Amino acid sequence: MIKHKTTTIAAIGLITLSSMLTACSGGASSQADTRWQNATSAEAGGGMQQLVKDAQAEGTFNAMGLFDDWANYGGLLHAFSEKYHIKINNDQSTGASQDLINAIVNRKGQRNSLDYLDTGVSFAIAADKQGLLAKYTPQTINDIPQQNRAQDNSWINQYGGTMAIGCDTSQVAQCPTTMKDLLKPEYKGKVALTGNPGTAETALMAVFAAAMANGGSLDNIKPGIDFFHQLSKEGNFVPVQANQGTVETGATPIIVDWDYLLKPIQQDVEQTEHHRFDIVIPADGKVSSFYAASINADAPHPAVARLFYEFLFSDEGQNLLLKGYVTPVRLKAMIKNGAIDQQALAKLPGKGDISASQPTVQQSNEAASVIKQQWAKAVQ
């Protein structure tokens, strides 16, 4: 997965969201570190009260690629910081799943390593196989279906969405409504992805959508690779990492991206009078997917990492994600128990349900392997 900003402000190398906090920002005692480093639940570490106390003693949360307008992480991190008086160190130099994994490998044993990861599921599984992820069960686990988490809870889906086509109508006379439309000659030099599908979950799902539209399936991504090969050959595909900035400059008028990431772009673009940004779920290539939350097994702030997990999967945390136009994993349970934010729900793309085809972990892994072997040669 490559996360990208949908604002025009350049990514900042290191962002502190709560510099005015007076809480201690130093490391916790070795006793607290030991207590939580291997704790698989709040109860196993002494309870929520103890978790909060030890997290506040640690005082800092390290993350990477949690952009403010990606799933409303800006609002989520601010609320967590304010509620528990935790300083946020959020490296926004990259949002690619593989980069996050590389960071925890390269920074092992260092205080600047990551506490929490937001990655594609296939990347979380790969990291778990390397022993990089902690096993931890949040208190709301019973609301999360088994298919949305690892058997040992080393990763858990936190939110999801559906692949869509975004189109700037000021630069395109008639926007595409299907994946096949992207091959039309009027879209020459206009179509882009948000990253390389070999390292970015978003782009991988875009290739899945293309495969579904061209005789392929979740078990056969090859037609999707062939489709982008044709797009590249015809000159329609632009080999740049698309974001709101590239839309506004005219470099990438058409983006294949998650519906929830296109919504903030739409809101910003349509602030200009008589200007529109269309978002459509392609009729011939519907694909949905969830992302995976995980905790670094070598987290420098193990109590903070687990407290953030509890917050992320709480009613408050899930509603904050919902405000970012994503489908929170506990959506159905929260609707049932009356905890859902109805106003945010009404704005959710797809009417509050992820109903498109979703690749299984095995299908994603197999597709990622094929992509890594064939993409560079097919799309040059």
CA 199 – CA 156 distance, rounded (Å): 20
In angstroms, the CA 262 to CA 345 distance is 17
For the whole model, what pTM was predicted? 0.80
Same domain for 52 and 67, yes or no, is: yes
Q: Is the same domain home to 150 and 211?
A: no
Each of the 380 residues of the chain gets a pLDDT tens digit; together they read 456 554 433 333 333 444 333 333 344 456 667 889 999 999 999 999 999 999 999 999 999 999 998 999 999 999 999 999 999 999 999 988 999 999 999 999 999 999 999 998 888 999 999 999 999 999 999 999 998 999 999 999 999 999 999 999 999 999 999 999 999 999 999 999 999 998 888 899 999 999 999 999 999 999 999 999 999 999 999 999 999 899 989 999 999 999 998 998 998 888 876 778 999 999 899 898 889 999 999 999 999 999 999 999 999 999 999 999 999 999 999 999 999 999 999 988 766 566 677 888 789 889 999 999 999 999 97
Number of domains the chain contains = 2
Q: With respect to residue 2, please indicate whether it lies within any of the assigned structural domains.
A: no
Considering the domain architecture, whether residues 278 and 348 belong to the same structural domain is answered as no
78 and 110 co-located in one domain: yes
| Distance, CA of 101 to CA of 124 (rounded, Å) | 8
318 and 306 within one domain: yes
Distance of alpha carbon 158 from alpha carbon 168, whole angstroms: 30
CATH number of the domain that residue 112 is part of? 3.40.190.10
Tell whether 225 is covered by a domain. yes
Q: Match 């070598």 to its residue by tokens.
A: 298
Are residues 368 and 346 part of one domain? Answer: no
Does the residue 328 lie in any domain? yes
Q: 243 and 361, same structural domain? A: yes
Decide: 359 and 221 in contact? Cβ < 8 Å: no
Are 152 and 58 members of one domain? yes
Q: Count how many Cα atoms sit within 13 Å of the Cα of residue 326 in the half-sphere of its side chain.
A: 25
Which domain range does residue 332 map to?
Answer: 15-159+290-352
Q: What is the DSSP string of 257-317?
A: EEHHHHHHHHHHHTTSTT--EEEE--TT--BEEEEEEEEBTT-SSHHHHHHHHHHHTSHHH
- 32 lies in the same domain as 99: yes
| Structural domain includes residue 6 | no
